[in-house]
A and B are shown apart, each in its own frame.
Chain A
Amino acid sequence: MHSIYSRINNVSAMLSTCLMVLLGAISLSSFLFTSTPPPGTLAVTNVKVFPGNARRYANKYQDFAFVNFNLTADLKPLFNWNTKQLFIYVSAEYENRQGTKNEVVIFDRIVQNKEDAYIDIAGRNKYVFRDVSASFEDSTPAHYSLKYNVMPYVGILTYGEAARTVDPVPFPESQDLS
């Protein structure tokens, strides 16, 4: 006859099924929230290119770009009950002199709650911005864009773009300081 252990087993078996159904329903509910953020503004105020020496390759001299930008975006609509956090990043899209299309992330931020989701920053590139071909000479002007990645508690990651420079910004001549 049924002992305590078989009753525990009975309840927990059904419990795990119900939990899975709940999690599935939560992740599906994300599709009900389709509101996208209103387009923000991203303006590049200043781009400078300097030659330098990356410590990793002692003999290799290459160009480093320094980008200042102003960024405003209202990402509050992306927060719903199933949003854990947002990963937002600014990337530069350009074609270098070898004809390779590049997309380089120069800045990122993690937004963990709705109160911080109004973005208003005057920032500069957080990560080293350099090209594989060691130079920005003859590169096409770069478009800069703010992209976001919504990370839910349960469910799939979704991506989107919240702001983009109106006109592409050309890279200036490399200026040697010494």
Chain B
Amino acid sequence: MSDILQQYLEGKIDFEGQKLVEQISRNILIVATAVSFVAGFATQSLQVLFGVFAAFVVTLSLAVIPPWPAYRRHPVKWLSIKETKA
């Protein structure tokens, strides 16, 4: 029971997933900064700027923080145990 709970709380993903998550979060945040500034400047409203930015951040968090199956497609394959002489 506690094993399952811990697995959900930790939400581990594999190495390929890590790489993907880091790329996505960096790129999306940079895009979000640029887009929200342009949107805010165009409408001359700081409210729009931070609204757009917040929307980006919320969607990004939902996409990246939970351990979605897409980030667990390349599990590490361990070598099989070798027989050793006792």
Contact = CB atoms under 8 A, between A and B. Distances in A.
B70 interface: no
- Main SS class of interface, A: helix
Contact of B21 (A7, A21, A29, A82): A7
A19 B57 CA distance: 11
Contact of A4 (B18, B22, B46, B66): B66
B18 A2 contact: yes
Interface string A6-30: 0110110011001101100110010
Contacts, number: 67
B32 A18 contact: yes
B46 A153 contact: yes
B59 to A, nearest CB: 12
A19 B53 CA distance: 9
B66 to A, nearest CB: 7
A10 B27 CA distance: 13
A7 B65 contact: yes
Contact of B17 (A2, A14, A15, A80): A2
Contacts of A82: 46
Contacts of B53: 18-19, 22
A3 interface: yes
Contacts of A3: 10-12
Given A2-B21, A4-B9, A153-B46, 5 more contacts: A4-B67, A10-B22, A15-B57, A19-B53, A80-B44
Interface of A: 1-5, 7-8, 10-11, 14-15, 18-19, 21-22, 25-26, 29, 80-82, 153
8 contacts: A4-B10, A4-B11, A4-B65, A4-B67, A11-B60, A15-B57, A21-B33, A22-B37
